[in-house]
Structure 1
Amino acid sequence: MKVQMRVNGRQVSGEVEGRTLLVTFLRDGQGLTGTHTGCDTSQCGACTVHVDGLQVKSCSMFAAEADGAEVTTIEGMANADGSLSVLQQAFQDHHGLQCGFCTPGMVMAAATLLEQTPEPTEAQVRHHLQGNICRCTGYHNIIKAVMAASGQQVTQVAAE
């Protein structure tokens, strides 16, 4: 079947089988390899993207379900000039990444949180990111990065 969607502001289309996952369509069909496949069971959050403004684990959605949708991947998070967004820069500045595998999903999830709650508490950040796993145990710096991106002081972030 043919699917069409707007991905990172660009109209794209492709032929997919009914069972093709959105993550596969994005990675293999569109070359957007920033969206990672970590578990294929929607447990880790490495494949998090935005579909029509909603945070979605793209390994749990068929590409056909996104037909006609507006999809944003980590590649679409940068500023128009290609520089890092405030959130991406905060991840870099506060060492909110280690191996980097979870980072795209963390950034996408954090972007949703900051859109909904511009100045979240530490507890709100921790709660919102529960669906994203960092196997390098980098949560402390990830929390600091999200708090910093919201314009808050990060010196008091608890190490948990």
Structure 2
Amino acid sequence: MLVDGARYMTLENRLDAAGAAIHVEWLLAATELDEISRGGPALVEFVGDSAEATQLLDWLIERDQKSPLVSWLWSERSFETLSNHLKSHLFTRLPDGRRALFRYYNPIVRRGLEAVLDSEQRMALMLPLDRWQIWQPLVLAYQTYYRVGQEARHA
């Protein structure tokens, strides 16, 4: 899963409390935004079945359904492959040449991307993923995006 740290300022504490039950990588670490990396996206993988993992998962679901902060990702690819891919899309160039943070990992931004990305851009973002889901508070359901040949739909 991909969690937007800017949507919950003490997310780092929640993730730390899960300990060895999860593998976490803050995607803005070692970039020019390293100082604020904990306010950016965290790629999280559950690696153990424990009370801490269950507690974190339950909290993420509950919190996400109040105010979306999680992108639920499904992939056969390794954590490292997903991390590298997602990092490669963190920054974009503006028409004037400046670099800008591309907040695709924010569920609100992700929802809007379907209207502005062309099929090639959409495919590039989804490349290693089978599905990408975000909570839709107004319809009380998850919006599901698929990698290839399938339209977005509510789950």
TM-score computed with the length of structure 2 as normaliser: 0.29
Higher share in strand:
2
TM-score, scaled relative to structure 1: 0.29
